[in-house]
Protein backbone atom coordinates (compact mmCIF):
# COMPACT_ATOMS: atom_id res chain seq x y z
CA UNK A 1 0.00 0.00 0.00
CA UNK A 2 0.99 3.57 -0.46
CA UNK A 3 2.96 5.29 2.24
CA UNK A 4 0.52 5.75 5.00
CA UNK A 5 1.71 6.67 8.43
CA UNK A 6 -0.21 9.08 10.56
CA UNK A 7 -3.59 10.35 9.54
CA UNK A 8 -4.16 13.84 8.36
CA UNK A 9 -7.05 16.18 7.99
CA UNK A 10 -8.20 17.30 4.59
CA UNK A 11 -10.55 20.20 4.86
CA UNK A 12 -13.49 19.87 2.57
CA UNK A 13 -16.16 22.25 1.40
CA UNK A 14 -14.37 25.52 1.81
CA UNK A 15 -13.32 27.19 -1.37
CA UNK A 16 -10.35 28.94 0.17
CA UNK A 17 -9.01 25.75 1.63
CA UNK A 18 -9.69 23.75 -1.47
CA UNK A 19 -7.79 26.24 -3.56
CA UNK A 20 -4.89 25.94 -1.21
CA UNK A 21 -4.91 22.18 -1.17
CA UNK A 22 -5.49 21.21 -4.75
CA UNK A 23 -2.88 22.88 -6.85
CA UNK A 24 -4.03 23.76 -10.31
CA UNK A 25 -7.49 23.10 -11.60
CA UNK A 26 -6.11 21.58 -14.75
CA UNK A 27 -4.19 19.08 -12.71
CA UNK A 28 -7.35 17.98 -10.93
CA UNK A 29 -8.95 17.21 -14.27
CA UNK A 30 -6.09 14.98 -15.34
CA UNK A 31 -6.46 12.25 -12.76
CA UNK A 32 -6.82 8.79 -14.18
CA UNK A 33 -7.41 5.99 -11.71
CA UNK A 34 -7.53 3.15 -14.20
CA UNK A 35 -6.79 -0.11 -12.44
CA UNK A 36 -7.68 1.25 -9.02
CA UNK A 37 -10.33 -0.55 -7.02
CA UNK A 38 -12.22 1.45 -4.43
CA UNK A 39 -14.57 0.19 -1.76
CA UNK A 40 -17.21 2.81 -1.01
CA UNK A 41 -19.08 2.46 2.27
CA UNK A 42 -22.00 4.87 2.25
CA UNK A 43 -25.50 4.20 3.50
CA UNK A 44 -27.51 6.71 1.55
CA UNK A 45 -28.14 5.50 -2.00
CA UNK A 46 -28.26 8.97 -3.47
CA UNK A 47 -24.93 9.96 -1.96
CA UNK A 48 -23.48 6.63 -3.01
CA UNK A 49 -24.61 7.04 -6.61
CA UNK A 50 -23.11 10.50 -6.81
CA UNK A 51 -19.78 9.26 -5.50
CA UNK A 52 -19.76 6.28 -7.83
CA UNK A 53 -20.36 8.51 -10.83
CA UNK A 54 -17.50 10.77 -9.80
CA UNK A 55 -15.17 7.82 -9.31
CA UNK A 56 -16.20 6.12 -12.53
CA UNK A 57 -15.49 9.36 -14.33
CA UNK A 58 -11.85 8.88 -13.48
CA UNK A 59 -11.97 5.18 -14.32
CA UNK A 60 -12.07 3.84 -10.78
CA UNK A 61 -13.67 0.47 -10.26
CA UNK A 62 -16.05 0.82 -7.33
CA UNK A 63 -17.77 -1.65 -5.05
CA UNK A 64 -20.37 -0.27 -2.69
CA UNK A 65 -21.51 -1.22 0.79
CA UNK A 66 -24.48 0.30 2.57
CA UNK A 67 -23.01 -0.07 6.02
CA UNK A 68 -19.77 -0.88 7.77
CA UNK A 69 -20.62 -4.54 8.28
CA UNK A 70 -21.14 -5.14 4.58
CA UNK A 71 -18.01 -3.17 3.86
CA UNK A 72 -16.01 -5.42 6.13
CA UNK A 73 -17.51 -8.49 4.49
CA UNK A 74 -16.52 -7.27 1.04
CA UNK A 75 -13.04 -6.38 2.21
CA UNK A 76 -12.45 -9.63 4.06
CA UNK A 77 -13.66 -11.69 1.11
CA UNK A 78 -11.51 -9.86 -1.40
CA UNK A 79 -8.07 -10.96 -2.55
CA UNK A 80 -5.23 -9.42 -0.61
CA UNK A 81 -4.44 -6.08 -2.17
CA UNK A 82 -7.49 -6.05 -4.40
CA UNK A 83 -8.79 -2.80 -2.98
CA UNK A 84 -6.53 0.21 -3.24
CA UNK A 85 -8.56 2.45 -0.97
CA UNK A 86 -11.71 2.61 1.12
CA UNK A 87 -14.02 5.61 1.25
CA UNK A 88 -15.80 5.31 4.57
CA UNK A 89 -18.88 7.23 5.61
CA UNK A 90 -18.77 7.81 9.35
CA UNK A 91 -22.41 7.52 10.30
CA UNK A 92 -24.01 4.36 8.98
CA UNK A 93 -26.59 1.95 10.36
CA UNK A 94 -25.64 -1.40 11.88
CA UNK A 95 -21.94 -0.58 11.96
CA UNK A 96 -20.50 2.87 11.63
CA UNK A 97 -17.31 3.85 9.87
CA UNK A 98 -15.24 4.05 13.04
CA UNK A 99 -16.00 0.51 14.14
CA UNK A 100 -15.55 -0.83 10.62
CA UNK A 101 -12.16 0.82 10.39
CA UNK A 102 -11.08 -0.68 13.70
CA UNK A 103 -12.07 -4.15 12.52
CA UNK A 104 -10.09 -3.74 9.32
CA UNK A 105 -7.05 -2.37 11.11
CA UNK A 106 -7.14 -5.19 13.65
CA UNK A 107 -7.53 -7.90 11.06
CA UNK A 108 -4.65 -10.18 10.24
CA UNK A 109 -4.77 -9.42 6.55
CA UNK A 110 -1.59 -8.25 4.91
CA UNK A 111 -3.49 -5.30 3.50
CA UNK A 112 -5.04 -4.24 6.78
CA UNK A 113 -3.18 -0.96 6.36
CA UNK A 114 -5.25 -0.06 3.31
CA UNK A 115 -5.82 3.70 3.03
CA UNK A 116 -9.18 4.66 4.50
CA UNK A 117 -10.65 8.07 3.87
CA UNK A 118 -13.44 9.15 6.18
CA UNK A 119 -16.36 11.05 4.71
CA UNK A 120 -18.19 13.14 7.24
CA UNK A 121 -20.63 15.99 7.34
CA UNK A 122 -19.01 17.14 10.56
CA UNK A 123 -15.42 17.52 9.54
CA UNK A 124 -14.97 20.63 11.63
CA UNK A 125 -16.16 19.01 14.81
CA UNK A 126 -13.83 17.81 17.48
CA UNK A 127 -14.56 14.23 16.58
CA UNK A 128 -12.31 14.42 13.53
CA UNK A 129 -9.44 13.56 15.80
CA UNK A 130 -11.25 10.45 16.95
CA UNK A 131 -11.72 9.43 13.32
CA UNK A 132 -8.01 9.59 12.76
CA UNK A 133 -7.33 7.81 16.03
CA UNK A 134 -9.60 4.97 14.92
CA UNK A 135 -7.20 4.32 12.07
CA UNK A 136 -8.62 6.39 9.26
CA UNK A 137 -5.98 8.22 7.29
CA UNK A 138 -7.82 11.29 6.14
CA UNK A 139 -11.10 13.06 6.53
CA UNK A 140 -13.09 14.55 3.69
CA UNK A 141 -15.90 16.94 4.50
CA UNK A 142 -19.24 16.26 2.88
CA UNK A 143 -20.39 17.45 0.51
CA UNK A 144 -16.95 17.12 -1.01
CA UNK A 145 -15.72 18.84 -4.09
CA UNK A 146 -14.74 16.38 -6.81
CA UNK A 147 -11.24 17.80 -7.12
CA UNK A 148 -10.68 17.25 -3.39
CA UNK A 149 -11.87 13.69 -3.67
CA UNK A 150 -9.60 13.02 -6.62
CA UNK A 151 -6.64 14.66 -4.96
CA UNK A 152 -7.10 12.61 -1.81
CA UNK A 153 -7.37 9.37 -3.76
CA UNK A 154 -4.34 10.23 -5.82
CA UNK A 155 -2.23 11.03 -2.81
CA UNK A 156 -3.34 7.99 -0.86
CA UNK A 157 -2.84 5.51 -3.67
CA UNK A 158 0.27 6.89 -5.34
CA UNK A 159 3.24 4.55 -5.02
Residues contributing to the site for other proteins (CB under 8 A): 13, 43-44, 46-47, 49-50, 53-54, 57, 91, 93, 121, 142-143, 145-146
- Torsion-angle region of residue 126: left (phi > 0), alpha (psi -120 to 50) or beta? alpha
- Residue 71 CB, nearest distance to other proteins (Å)? 17
- Residue 1 CB, nearest distance to other proteins (Å)? 28
Per the CB < 8 A criterion, the answer to whether 47 and 64 are in contact is: no
- Residue 82 CB, nearest distance to other proteins (Å)? 27
Residue 88 and residue 74: Cα distance in Å, rounded? 13
Per the CB < 8 A criterion, the answer to whether 71 and 43 are in contact is: no
Query: Toward other proteins, which CB reaches closer, 35 or 93?
Result: 93
Query: Toward other proteins, which CB reaches closer, 28 or 134?
Result: 28
Amino acid sequence: MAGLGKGSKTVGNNSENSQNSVGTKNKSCDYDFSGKNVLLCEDHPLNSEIAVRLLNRKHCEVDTAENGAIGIELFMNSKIGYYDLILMDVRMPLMDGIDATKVIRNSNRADSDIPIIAMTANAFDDDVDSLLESGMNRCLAKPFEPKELYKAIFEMTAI
